Structure formats: C-alpha cells, structure tokens
Structure 1
Amino acid sequence: MKKINKIKFITFCVFLSALFVACEKDYFDSQPDNLLSVDKIFTNRGQTERWWAGLFTNIPDIWDQPYSYQYGITSDELDASNWTNPGINSGAITPDGTPSNFVALYERIRLATIFLERVDGNQEILEQANGAEIIKHYKAEARFLRAYYYWLMMKQLGPVAIAPLVSALPGDDFQIPRSTWDECVNFVLSEIEKAKLELPVDYYLDGTTVDGTKIGRINKIIATALESQILLYHASPLFNGNSELADFKNLDGTVLFNQVYDANRWVKAAEKAKEAIDIAESNGKSLYKVVDADPFRAGFLSCRNLYWDGWRTEGIWVRPSTNVYQWETHTSPRSTAGTAYNGIAVVQSLVDEYRMADGKKITESTNYNETSYATTATPYYVVGTNAMYANREPRFYTQITFNGALNPGAAKAGTNNSRVEFFASGTSGKSGSARDWPKTGYSPRKNIHPTFSLSPAVNVDRPGMLIRLAELYLNYAEALNESSPGNPDILNYLNQIKTRAGLPALAPGLTQAEMRNEIRHERRIELSFEGHRYFDVRRWKIADQPGSNQGGAFYGMDMSKGSALNDPAFHQRTISFSRAAWQRKFYFMPYGQNEMDRNKKLVQFPGY
C-alpha cells in the first residue's frame, strides 16, 4: 500500500456527503442526470441539488495540467515543447482547432438557465428548514456562475454571442450576432449585481465563524472580487478606446470594440477594487504572513507556504478540489523520489525579472554576475551554484528551480539528488531522458510541497485559490495609478505585497510611468503561473514588446552542455526555443468553425 500524506478537508467532506447523498463526486465535478427526465429531476431534492452541483463543473483548476498548458506555456512564462506545443506557439491556430472551451461553457450556461427556471418549484427543498433561503442562495449562485462562464468566454474570445435568458427549444432562432464588448461587460456585471442581492456575505456558522463545510460556495466577497477583475480589464488599453480593432465589426457594421477612450473606467475599477478589499478584510481576510526572526526567511516561508497553509487567510475564491498532483509531477525534477517528469520550463526573461535581495534589478546590482560560483551553501542552494542565482529575493527561491537549487520536494536516495542538476549529464539533465527535462534549464517551483514524492506517493491535498487578496491589492494599485497617480494608497498596497515577500518597500517619488512598470512587474512575479500573464500582456497591449514578447526567440541555459554543477559551458544564455512572431489575431482565440457554420450572424475575429 502506498503511503499518502494528505490534509483532510473533513468538514468539507461532511458537507458533501450530507448535501449530495446520491452523488459520489464533489460539486466541481458532478454532472446532472439524464436531461430527458428534467421534470422529474426538479421534483426531487437530491437530483436538483446534483444539478446545482454540476453548475460548478467548469470553474477552472489552475493547478491542473490542462490549465497550465492552455495559458502558461502559451505566454512568456513557461514552455513544454518537449511534450506539446499548442498551435498559437507555431502560428497554426485555426477555428477548426480552437483552444477555447466555449462549447462546454455554453452548455453550462444553458444548464444554469434551466435551473433558474425550475428550482422554485421543488417542494422537497421548500419543505426543509429554511427551504426558501436555500433556494434563494442556490439561484444566486447559478446566476453568478452563468455570468462567470460568459466572462471566461469573453477573456478568450472577446465580444461573444449572448444567448436569451430562457432555456432554448429546438425551434428557436439560434442566429445570434456578437454583442459589443461594452454590452457584454454591462450584461455580466448586471447579472453579478443581481446575484449579490441574494448572496450572503459569507457562509457563517454563528455570525463570525466561517462554515468550513461550505468553502468554495459563491458569496458576496467572491462576487465583488470578480467585479474588480472585470472592471480592471474593461479599463485596460485592449478594451478601452482600441482603434487598432476598428475593423472588428458585425455583419451590420456594428463596431465591436469602443473607439473612444474613457478615463472614468479606471476610476470605477479603482473603486470596485477597494470595495472588494474592504469587504474581504472586514470578513477576516488578510495577506498570509509567517513570522520569523530572519526577515528573509519570513518572506520565503510566507510566499512558499501560502499555497497550503495560507489559503484560509488570503484566499478569496477557493476551489476545494484541485489536481495539484499533476502540477507537482510535471514540474518537479527527476531527482525527486519516484522520478518526476520535469518537462515544464521557465523562460529566462521571467527568471531575470526576480530582483536581488536588496530590491534592485539584476541590471542595477553590482552583486550580480554570471561567471563565478558559490563557495558557501545556503538553505536554498549548494556550493558550486552559479552566482547569478545568489542573493536573489525570497520569491525567487520559492518559485524557480535552477541548477544547484535544493530539491523542491522529497529527493531520491543519494547525495546528488538532494540538489538539482540540470546540466547535460546531471541527475535531471538532458542526457538522462529523451523528453523529461526543461528546455531552458529552469522549472517552476511554486506550489510544490516540500514532502512531495511520486514513490512512495506523498501529495498533500490542498485547495486552489482562483482569486486571492494579493490580486485585489494589485488591481487597486494599477487602477489607482491610472486614475489618480500619486495617490498614497498606490504605494501602500503595492508595498504590502513587496514587504510580505521580504523585499524593501518602494520609496515615494516615482512617476506614473515608473509606477506602472513596478505594478506590472509585481503582477508578473507575485501572480506567476496562476493564469494571469497570458491575459495581462494582451490587455496591456505589450505582447509584441521586448521583455514581454510572446513570439520570437526565448532563452535559457545551454541544456546540451555541462558535466559538473559549476561547468561554465552550461551557464551560457542560448536560444532554447522559438515561437511564431506575434500577430494581431492572437489577442483572442477563434470561435470554432462548427459554430461559425451554424450561426450565420457570427463574425470571426479578424485574422482567422
């Protein structure tokens, strides 16, 4: 029998077993019964609640491998081209092979609409204690999820076709054009606001203690946080007065992106972000911090342990079930017990973004060099490690695995396996495996538990944070810098994230442009590998600019060379892989060709 070390979400499991007596899966993975028996389903409490549970199915799992493939390896964060290379990277993306999951999202939207139409008639639920209140909350969550799934499509596809808010019949007219971007945003926000009227602030046992059995259920804290994200995007250059997309029109000539910049959108985004922060913090949320006598170690532990110890403190929208085992298996080095796969690589440009311990950029620091090697071991790397990895900020050692780093999980037996060897003949190098090695000489380390092992199997179960308080702080800082440059709250909230990470606070006096760069830098580091970068470079319209380029050559260390940890031949910046040059059509994914063939009023995004 394999030994499995898991954190047991006992109260959550009790909730599931009580709520879904006939359902073996949790509510993120459950499916409704045969749709042909819909009338019977909505007269039965258990079946109705299974249907409601199924509405959560398409909430993304950001730590599952398909999600990292969708966004991480198609942005300037990660690469997995030893295993797979999505069409957008080669320029071969087409409507026939769209990576968008719009079909599944439309299906879930339809099921939410049916639920909203039918659930009020379920007498078995109404006869329960607080039955009317239960249905009110179920309906509010269904309305929120329907809006959320539209938002996911909008992030992928841009303006979308919005279906009527009634369940469709076979004879209905399905020829629906895209709504404009502004219409889509207004629709989604209005639906979320309606949901908030019927949602609790949070699910409490006694007014102050959160009901642990209802973690992951939608509340006003989550809904307000999502509004913050939507309004931040809505104010950003891609969506706010974007004349570059003036040719994106419906068949009747309607321009789908507004052509006039509206500065007030940044004001609304800042107000909503602050509202989201306030409601979260007034209900017990805060940045997760570990106290330690060594400030550097405190920063390291705060950022490393956040993902398994800090989610209760910092998590705003928490997904109770997450397949983090897939993430750990594919990112841990082969020197991990049981031999992990380790084919996901981090690009050099991201590695270079991490600051030195004193907060300086590597280009500004006299302590940074790439030609000497450590003569003293630290808790983060061994003797012989290249000096380019020394004296970096705490987050560097929690998020990046490099040549000479200590193994992020449980190491195999043997001295050399306690450290990571990415040089060609090393324990995790190119020579030892046909495909299981990172092309750049770096792999992601974030959210790998220090006890992780494939054999014996040890994977600490933990939820995933879809939205966390640090994101709201960054939303607020960004929107405020655009709407009210120089406002002291900008530095206040940005510096709270930096100092939590063990970095010195930024001093006042930065220009708006300098502050913008600092905020964008902080989003890249703090939110790395969590699904934001792909969308951030697009909404900022910087995907073709040096330092954030999504196409062309990507660099790393020379994985084909090196016979020792301190071999200079390995530590040479070299082109690790290349992608197709950035094209305008990459701002959005295409609608599938099958949908274009069915819906003759639907226009494709230009370029596809």
Structure 2
Amino acid sequence: MNLNKLFFLALVIVALLPTGCKKGFFETVPDNLITVDGVFTNRGQTERWLAGLYSSVQDPWLTSGGLQFHITTDEADISNWENPAMNSGALAATSINITTGGYYEKIRLANIFLENIDKNQEILALNNGEEIIKRYKGEAQFLRAYYHWVLMKQFGPIEIAPLKSGSPNDDYQIPRSSWDECVAFVMKEMEEAKQNLPANNFTVGTSDVDPARTGRINQIVVSAVQAQILLFHASPLYNGNVELGDFKNMDGKQLINQTYDAGRWAKAAAAAKAAIDLAEANGKKLFRVNDADPFRAAFLSCRNLYWDGWKDEGIWLRVTNSSGPYEYSAAPRSIQGTPWNGIALVQELVDDFRMKDGSEIGGSGYNENTYTNTANPYYVSGTNTMYTNREPRFYVDVTFNGSVTPAVAKAGANNARVEFFLTGNSGKAGETRNWPKTGYTSRKNIHPTFSFSPYVYLARPAMLIRLAELYLIYAEALNESDPGNPDVLKYLNAVRTRGGIPALTGGTQVQLRTQIRRERRIELCMENGARYFDVRRWKVPQEEGFVQGGSYTGMNIEAGSILSDPAFHQRKIAFSRAVWQRKYYFYPYPQEEMDRNKQLVQFPGY
C-alpha cells in the first residue's frame, strides 16, 4: 500500500467513527477496510462509505452541544447545564464550541467516493446498476456541497475545499472565497447533483416510494436546500452589506458584496416556488388533523406533526436523531421517572405567541393579575390568565405554570399539571440544576406517551426541512421582490390557518414583512436554529423584538407556594448575556484551522 492510500485510510477510519450509541444509515462504519481500492470493488463496503458521508448531517434535536443555535439566541436557556462562550462574551478562536474539521473530512471522503465509485463492477453488474451508481454519485456530490453550506452559515465566506482527494504534499493554503463565489459554487454543485437523482426516493425500477430510503437525498431535498441558500443570499447580511466592508482577504479581496442586488429576492422566490411545486407533485402537503373543534384541530395538527406528520410534510428527514434525549431534557419533573426539566424558554418568546384571535398580547383579553376558574385540555383551574385564550401553537410549544403535564404523569393529583413555582413539582426548591431559570420549558416534540422511567420513547424521523418552511421562504422572498403578489398571502395564510390563526386579508410590504418574520418565529421555534440565523441574515439583532444578548426575563422562580401565587407570576430578569457585538454575525474560524492555513483571515473582531 502506498503512502497516499495509507493517509486516506487513516482519514476514513477517523472520520467515519460513530458519534453516538445508535446506529443506522447516518451512523455507519465500513468494516474490514484493507485499501481504498478494496472498498470500491465491494458493494457492501462502498455503500457503507456512502452511508458514512451522511453521518455529519446535522441532528436537529441533539442536546449535547446541538442546542447551541437555540441557547445563543432569544429562544432558550440551559445555563444550569451549559452556557456557550458567546453568551459570556468570551467567544474567541480558542474557545469556540463548534469545529470545521468534521465537515472538511466529509468533503474529502466524498471526493474519494466520487473518484472511485465507477470502479465498482459488483454494483454495475446489478439490474439498473448504472442507475444506482448515478444516484450514489448524486448523493455524494450533494453532500459535499451541503457540508460547504453548513460551514457558510456558521462562518460566512469560507475556504472552498479542493474537489479532488489530494495527497499530504498538496498545497492546502487556501484563502476564503467571497460569499458570492461560495454561493455560486454550492448552487452549481447541487444543480449537477440533482441531474443524477430521482425526484423522490423510489424503489429501483418502480414509481413507489421506498421506505428503506427515508432520509436519502433526492431532487425534492436538493431543491429545498437551494431555496434556503438563495433566501440567505438575498438577505441584508449578505446583500450589499457595507457594514462588513472591512471583511477582506489579505490581498484586499472583498468577501461580502457591497452593492445591493434586488434581483436576488426574485431568484429566491422562484427557487422556493419550484421546490414547493416539486414537493407537492410528489405528494407533500401541510399535515392536518381533522377535529370538530377547529382549535383542537389546529393544536393536534401542530403537535402531532413531529411524529405523525413527517410523511406528509417532511422534505428532508434524519432517521436516527436525538429526539429522545431532547424529550427528557425538556420534559417537566411531573412526568413519570422525573425528567431533567431544563430547556427553558425565555419570556420574550412566550410573549410573541399571539392570542387565539391572532391579536398581540396586552389587549382586552389578556391579564397577568387574575386566575381562571375553569380547566380545559391545555391548562388547569387556577392558571394565570396570561396563559389562557392563546393561539394553539402556544400550547404545543410552551410548558408553563398550570399547563397540563405533556406526557405520562407521575402518580398524585398535582402531577397532572406542571408547577414551576418555587415549591412546585417542577420548581427550583430542592433541586441542584434541573429547573428552568425562566419558569417555562420547551414542549414541542414531547410525545404524549413519553415516560422517563420506565423509558418509553416513540422513534420517529426528524425533519431537517419541511413544507411549511418552504411556504414561508416563498412568502418572504416574494414579498421583497413582488409586493402585492397574491401568493404572499396565500402561502403565509396556509401556515397561519393550519396553526389556528385567522387569515390575513391584506397589508403593505412592511406590514407583511413583520407578519412573515413573526410567523417564522412561532412556526419554526426550536427547529434547526431558524431563529439564530434569521436575526442575523435580517441584520436586526439590536432592534426591538429581536434583541440578541443583554437581559432576558421570565417568571419569579424564587417565589410561590401554590399554583395561583401572585409572587411567582411577576416578570423579572432570569439571566443576562453579553451584549450584542458585530462579530457575532459569524463564528470565528477555530485557532487550529488558522494555524494550519496561513491564507485564512479571521472575521473582524476576533
């Protein structure tokens, strides 16, 4: 075996090591590796290599480090357990909690796959063997581009990796490409990959969807990701952003375009509509549950989406995921087995959920000083009226003081409800760290049959992209490029009404921009870091309603001995973070990457 093969074999063994206790298509390790050539003459080993390329696809419910995009924005807090350096102001190239290496390793492994897959005579000899090879190449090429895209979202303009496997002696001193060059690169790669992929994950030789290929890349997935990319590309952070005029390479090359291009919004709208049309032509639709009570129908549609609705609405799925650990990290201690009760939602997010008539809180139907004497499936008698008559998604996403316990309750009458006041069943008293600093926890994606001990968990795929997000991408891009186009209201209202909110009948561009941004805030909360990236790409992290950093509020968790105790229901500062700094638009490149690649420039401020 020559030096290059030994080098790549070592990379493969390291890069494809499993990252968790569960194994599936996304966590697969080639076994009995002898040489790279040996892998690509064997069908099973070749397919394991391809499976390994999927293993770094982000897990949207990962709790260990994976909540970083939710706990560094105005959504959530887990500072009893973990508090990233961005929150304390200590974020630096030497204290970053995310890395680039794993993605660049996967990119390199995709190169090796694409260079060798055509050699596999065992696959070629199969019926439709050439079609299988073609599909595998499309998947690998897409993943190679996708990992570049993940890096771009986190680090901004990046170094584009060579599209060949290379050798240890090659020159890897590569400067950042400009943002526009990065976008052009990933879009081109994805478009080429799309030509080798089926529209949907059909069983080979048929038009039937193959459940065994759930989560594998197809044209629907590629089109959806392209729509996301073009939405970012059109947004203020990347489109004529003179505030970042000092972000340049060593040779003076500008990395963020300084001239606004309004046409980018039209391209994003067209890409989103094409993705929607392709998805719907292949059976995708907004998931809905029928019920005689419209409010209950909206509640069940939004709640059950995460375990019953993925077949209808899911565009890109991750079969193996961490929804189980997320579930017991978020669930209140009133649930059987005493879960960890610690993914706290901030008051600022709680307040952004509307009343059930679609109005903002604070109107005549909202009161923080009274308590209801009625109960329903969402809260018990004695609950503060600030939590009553809210929109259905409020009861899907937020666990509050007096809410009905979201899963299998412990024995005892009081455990049928959640108590976050000091001495309550999920309060701070007697606990070292398993309590929410704000008096709220995340409720989304907690299954009604969940129990921590005995452990009862319903396995389900996680949705990396879903149709509702495509609707909101289209509505946003169209409102910016063609205000007044009836499709803006059509697609925005489709998401609103599924969520139980009345349809809008009109509005100016500015008014609809506000409504679209609020809809993303609510519909996509705690999903895939949407809020984190939204406030950055919109360039609003210091504007009212979007403020990043500083003090965040909640209820007074240090007080209260009964459910209706006014002492608990007082707003107070729950925790504080470092104030917003411009450098937080992007993460710094890790110091080890800067040390390896002397052509890299760091993002200004680090």
Check if 1:331 corresponds to 2:324.
no
What is the rounded CA distance, in whole Å, between the counterparts of 2:65 and 2:300 in structure 1? 26
Note if contact 2:74-2:349 (Cα within 8 Å) is conserved in structure 1. Answer: yes
Note if contact 1:429-1:437 (Cα within 8 Å) is conserved in structure 2. Answer: yes
Instruction: State which drifts further: 272-281 or 546-555.
Output: 546-555
Q: Give the partner amino acid of 1:315.
A: G
Structure 1: which 5+ runs fail to align?
Answer: 1-23
What is the rounded CA distance, in whole Å, between the counterparts of 1:426 and 1:342 in structure 2? 13
Structure 2: which 5+ runs fail to align?
Answer: 1-21
1:430 to 428, 431, 435: 428
Give the match for residue 90 of structure 2. 92
Structure 1 residue 448 displacement after superposition: 0.2
Q: Give the partner amino acid of 2:480.
A: E
* TM-score normalized by the length of structure 1: 0.95
Give the match for residue 465 of structure 1. 463
Give the match for residue 276 of structure 2. 277
Give the match for residue 12 of structure 1. none
Deviation readout 1:442-501 (Å, 9 max, x if unpaired): 001000001100111111110000000000000000000000111110000000111111
Helix, strand or coil at the partner of 1:576: strand
Helix, strand or coil at the partner of 1:602: coil
Give the match for residue 525 of structure 1. 522
What is the rounded CA distance, in whole Å, between the counterparts of 2:377 and 2:55 in structure 1? 41
Give the match for residue 174 of structure 2. 176
Note if contact 2:99-2:590 (Cα within 8 Å) is conserved in structure 1. Answer: no
What is the rounded CA distance, in whole Å, between the counterparts of 1:487 and 1:59 in structure 2? 36
Check if 1:133 corresponds to 2:131.
yes
2:114 to 116, 121, 144: 116
What is the rounded CA distance, in whole Å, between the counterparts of 1:420 and 1:94 in structure 2? 39
Structure 1 residue 434 displacement after superposition: 1.2
Structure 1 residue 68 displacement after superposition: 4.3
1:195 to 193, 196, 206: 193
Check if 1:511 corresponds to 2:535.
no
Q: Give the partner amino acid of 2:426.
A: S
Helix, strand or coil at the partner of 1:57: helix
What is the rounded CA distance, in whole Å, between the counterparts of 1:235 and 1:153 in structure 2? 18
2:582 to 571, 584, 593: 584
Give the match for residue 14 of structure 1. none
Structure 1 residue 208 displacement after superposition: 4.7
What is the rounded CA distance, in whole Å, between the counterparts of 2:303 and 2:75 in structure 1? 19
Give the match for residue 409 of structure 1. 407
What is the rounded CA distance, in whole Å, between the counterparts of 1:67 and 1:127 in structure 2? 44
What is the rounded CA distance, in whole Å, between the counterparts of 2:494 and 2:342 in structure 1? 34
Q: Give the partner amino acid of 2:522.
A: I
Structure 1 residue 309 displacement after superposition: 0.4
Check if 1:445 corresponds to 2:446.
no
Helix, strand or coil at the partner of 2:69: helix
What is the rounded CA distance, in whole Å, between the counterparts of 1:392 and 1:209 in structure 2? 42
Instruction: State which drifts further: 42-51 or 569-578.
Output: 42-51
Alignment of 1:354-503 (within 5 A): 354-363=353-362, 365-503=363-501
Structure 1 residue 546 displacement after superposition: 2.2
Give the match for residue 291 of structure 1. 290
Structure 1 residue 212 displacement after superposition: 1.1
What is the rounded CA distance, in whole Å, between the counterparts of 2:149 and 2:32 in structure 1? 27
Give the match for residue 602 of structure 1. 600
Helix, strand or coil at the partner of 1:191: helix
Instruction: State which drifts further: 523-532 or 89-98.
Output: 89-98
Note if contact 1:60-1:67 (Cα within 8 Å) is conserved in structure 2. Answer: no
Q: Give the partner amino acid of 2:508.
A: T
What is the rounded CA distance, in whole Å, between the counterparts of 1:34 and 1:58 in structure 2? 22
Alignment of 1:97-246 (within 5 A): 97-205=95-203, 208-246=207-245
Helix, strand or coil at the partner of 1:555: strand
Note if contact 2:317-2:463 (Cα within 8 Å) is conserved in structure 1. Answer: yes
Check if 1:537 corresponds to 2:535.
yes
Q: Give the partner amino acid of 2:94.
A: D
Note if contact 1:370-1:387 (Cα within 8 Å) is conserved in structure 2. Answer: yes
Note if contact 1:68-1:529 (Cα within 8 Å) is conserved in structure 2. Answer: no
Helix, strand or coil at the partner of 2:373: coil
What is the rounded CA distance, in whole Å, between the counterparts of 1:545 and 1:34 in structure 2? 56
What is the rounded CA distance, in whole Å, between the counterparts of 2:486 and 2:431 in structure 1? 52
What is the rounded CA distance, in whole Å, between the counterparts of 1:120 and 1:481 in structure 2? 45
What is the rounded CA distance, in whole Å, between the counterparts of 1:248 and 1:157 in structure 2? 12
What is the rounded CA distance, in whole Å, between the counterparts of 1:106 and 1:373 in structure 2? 55
Q: Give the partner amino acid of 1:454.
A: F
Structure 1 residue 37 displacement after superposition: 1.8
Q: Give the partner amino acid of 1:546.
A: E
Check if 1:563 corresponds to 2:566.
no
CA RMSD of aligned residues (A): 1.1
Q: Percent identity?
A: 62
Give the match for residue 258 of structure 1. 257
Deviation readout 1:263-307 (Å, 9 max, x if unpaired): 000000000000000000011000000111100000000000000
Deviation readout 1:226-284 (Å, 9 max, x if unpaired): 00000000000000000000000000000100000000000000000000000000110
Q: Give the partner amino acid of 2:338.
A: T
- Judged with a 3 Å threshold, the aligned counterparts in structure 2 of structure 1 residues 28 and 501 are, in CA distance, closer, same or farther, namely same
Helix, strand or coil at the partner of 1:96: coil
What is the rounded CA distance, in whole Å, between the counterparts of 2:202 and 2:41 in structure 1? 29
Q: Give the partner amino acid of 1:521.
A: R
Aligned residues: 583
Q: Give the partner amino acid of 2:346.
A: V
What is the rounded CA distance, in whole Å, between the counterparts of 1:54 and 1:470 in structure 2? 29
Instruction: State which drifts further: 91-100 or 131-140.
Output: 91-100
Structure 1 residue 69 displacement after superposition: 2.3
* TM-score normalized by the length of structure 2: 0.95
What is the rounded CA distance, in whole Å, between the counterparts of 1:349 and 1:393 in structure 2? 16
Q: Give the partner amino acid of 2:48.
A: R
What is the rounded CA distance, in whole Å, between the counterparts of 1:347 and 1:31 in structure 2? 40
Structure 1 residue 86 displacement after superposition: 0.3
Q: Give the partner amino acid of 2:577.
A: R
Q: Give the partner amino acid of 2:324.
A: Y
Note if contact 1:242-1:258 (Cα within 8 Å) is conserved in structure 2. Answer: yes
Helix, strand or coil at the partner of 2:94: helix
What is the rounded CA distance, in whole Å, between the counterparts of 1:31 and 1:587 in structure 2? 36
Helix, strand or coil at the partner of 2:35: helix
Instruction: State which drifts further: 62-71 or 268-277.
Output: 62-71
Note if contact 1:99-1:589 (Cα within 8 Å) is conserved in structure 2. Answer: no
Q: Give the partner amino acid of 2:563.
A: L
Q: Give the partner amino acid of 2:465.
A: I
Structure 1 residue 547 displacement after superposition: 1.5
Helix, strand or coil at the partner of 1:430: coil
Note if contact 1:61-1:67 (Cα within 8 Å) is conserved in structure 2. Answer: no
What is the rounded CA distance, in whole Å, between the counterparts of 1:578 and 1:545 in structure 2? 17
Q: Give the partner amino acid of 1:388.
A: M
Deviation readout 1:384-432 (Å, 9 max, x if unpaired): 0000000000000010000000001111100111100000000100103
Helix, strand or coil at the partner of 1:467: strand
